[in-house]
Structure 1
Amino acid sequence: MSERRAVTKAIATRYVRSSRTAKKAILDELCAVTGWHRDHARKALRRALVLRPARARAPRPPLYGEEVIEALRFCWAVQGTSCGRLLAAALPDLVPRLRRFQELEIDDATEALLLKIAPATIDRRLKQDRTKLEPRGRSHTKPGTVLKDSIPMRTWAEWDDAVPGFVEIDPVGHEGGNSRGEFCFPLDITDIATGWTETRSVKNKAQKWVFAAIKDVTAAFPFPIVGIDSDNGSEFINWELLAWCEQEKLTFTRSRSGNKNDGAHVEQKNWHIVRQTVGYHRYDTASELELLNRIWALQRLLTNHFLPQQKLIGKVRTGAKMSKKYDRPATPFQRSGIQGHRLTGRESPAKTPKQATQSRRATAPDPSPLRGTPDPDHRQTLRDTAASDPGKIKRFHDPSQAGILT
Structure 2
Amino acid sequence: MEGKIPMTARRHVTNKLRTTYRKASKTDRSRILDEVMATTGMGRSTARRMLTGPRLPDPGEHVDKRRLRPKTYSDASRVLLEHVWALMGMPCGKYFVVMLPMWLPLLEQAGDLDHPFVSATAIEELESMSAATIDRYLAPARQSMQLRGISTTKPPPLLRNSIGLSKTGDEPPTVAGVIEADTVAHCGPSYVGEFARTLTMTDMVTGWTENASIRNNASKWILEAVADLDGKFPFELRVFDSDNGSEFINHEVADWLQQRDIDQTRSRPYRKNDQATVESKNNHVVRKHAFYWRYDTSEELGLLGQLWPLVSLRLNFFVPTKKPVEYATTSDGRRRRVYDSPRTPWRRVLDSGLLTDDQVTAISERVDGVNPADLTRQINQIQMRLIELSKSKTEAMAASRHLDMASLKPSMNRLQTN
How far residue 146 of structure 1 moved from its aligned partner, in angstroms, is: 1.8
Residue type of the alignment partner of 1:379:
Q
Which deviates further from its counterpart, 391-400 or 173-182?
A: 391-400
The 3-state SS of whatever aligns with 1:325 is: strand
TM-score normalized by the length of structure 1: 0.78
2:381 matched to 1:377? Answer: yes
Tell me the equivalent position of 1:303: 315
In structure 2, how many angstroms separate the alpha carbons of the residues matched to 1:281 and 1:93? 33
3-state SS of paired residue (1:337)? helix
Q: After TM superposition, give the deviation of residue 215 of structure 1 in Å.
A: 1.1
Q: Gaps spanning 5+ residues in structure 2: where? A: 1-48, 58-64, 400-404
1:168 touches 1:266 (CA, 8 Å); kept in 2? Answer: yes
Q: Is the 8 A contact 1:142 1:232 kept in 2?
A: yes
Q: Is the 8 A contact 1:132 1:402 kept in 2?
A: no
| TM-score normalised by length of structure 2 | 0.76
The residue identity in structure 2 corresponding to 1:378 is: I
Contact 2:144 2:410 in 1 (8 A): no
Aligned partners of 1:272, 1:317: CA distance in 2, in Å? 30
* Matched ranges for 1:77-156 at <5 A: 77-105=86-114, 106-156=118-168
SS in 1 for 2:201: strand
1:231 corresponding residue in structure 2: 243
Q: Secondary structure at the match of 1:299?
A: helix
Q: Could you say which residue in structure 2 is the equivalent of 1:366?
A: 371
Task: Report how far residue 211 of structure 1 moved.
Answer: 1.4
Q: Is the deviation greater in 75-84 or in 272-281? A: 75-84
1:2-401 alignment to 2 at 5 Å?
56-105=65-114, 106-158=118-170, 160-318=172-330, 319-337=332-350, 346-348=359-361, 363-372=368-377, 376-387=380-391, 389=393, 392-393=397-398, 395=405, 396-401=408-413
Partner of 2:61: none
Query: Against the structure 1 CA distance between its residues 184 and 402, is the aligned structure 2 distance closer, same or farther, given a 3 Å change threshold?
Result: closer
| DSSP 3-state at the match of 1:155 | coil
1:148 to 1:130, Cα distance in 2 relative to 1, 3 A: same
The AA in structure 2 aligned to 1:70 is V
Task: Tell me the SS of whatever aligns to 1:158.
Answer: coil
The offset of 1:376, in angstroms, is 2.1
**TM superposition shift of 1:201:** 0.2
CA 360–66 in structure 1, closer or farther in 2 if over 3 Å, else same: farther
Question: Following the alignment from structure 2 to structure 1, what is the Cα–Cα distance between the partners of residues 148 and 383?
Answer: 19
Deviation at 1:149, TM superposition (A): 1.2
State the one-letter code of the partner of 2:370. Answer: P
Q: Deviations over 1:222-258 (max 9, x none)?
A: 1111110000000000011111222211111000000
Query: What percentage of residue pairs aligned between the two structures are identical?
Result: 34
- The residue aligned with 1:31 is none
Distance, in Å, in 1 between the alignment partners of 2:360 and 2:101 is: 26
Q: Which residue of 2 aligns with 1:22?
A: none
Q: Deviations over 1:107-136 (max 9, x none)?
A: 222212111211111111111111111020
Letter in 1 for 2:85: W
Structure 1, residues 19-72: CA drift from partner, whole Å, max 9, x if none?
Answer: xxxxxxxxxxxxxxxxxxxxxxxxxxxx9xx99797644322212111111111
User: Aligned in 2, Cα 1:388/1:273: closer, same or farther, shift over 3 Å?
Assistant: same
**1:3 aligns to what?**
none
Q: How has the CA–CA distance of structure 1 residues 161 and 54 changed in structure 2, closer, same or farther, with 3 Å as cutoff?
A: farther
Deviation at 1:364, TM superposition (A): 4.0
Gap change, CA 1:69 and 1:204, over 3 Å in 2: same
RMSD of Structure 2 on Structure 1 (CA): 2.9
| Alignment CA distance shift 1:159-1:292 (3 Å) | farther
SS in 2 for 1:172: strand
Q: Unaligned stretches of 5+ in structure 1?
A: 1-46, 351-355
Q: What secondary structure, in the 3-state scheme, does the structure 2 residue paired with 1:147 have?
A: helix
Question: Within 2, Cα distance between the matches of 1:93 and 1:219?
Answer: 28
After superposition, the C-alpha distances for 1:130-170 in whole angstroms (9 at most, x for unaligned) are 11110201110011032111101101233542210000000
Aligned-partner Cα distance in 1 for 2:135–2:108:
23
CA contact (8 A) 1:230 1:236 kept: yes
Q: Decide whether aligned partners of structure 1 residues 388 and 287 sit closer, same or farther in structure 2, where only a CA change above 3 A counts.
A: farther
Query: For this pair of structures, how many residues does the alignment match?
Result: 346
CA contact (8 A) 1:170 1:188 kept: yes
Alpha-carbon contact 1:161-1:192 (below 8 Å) kept: yes
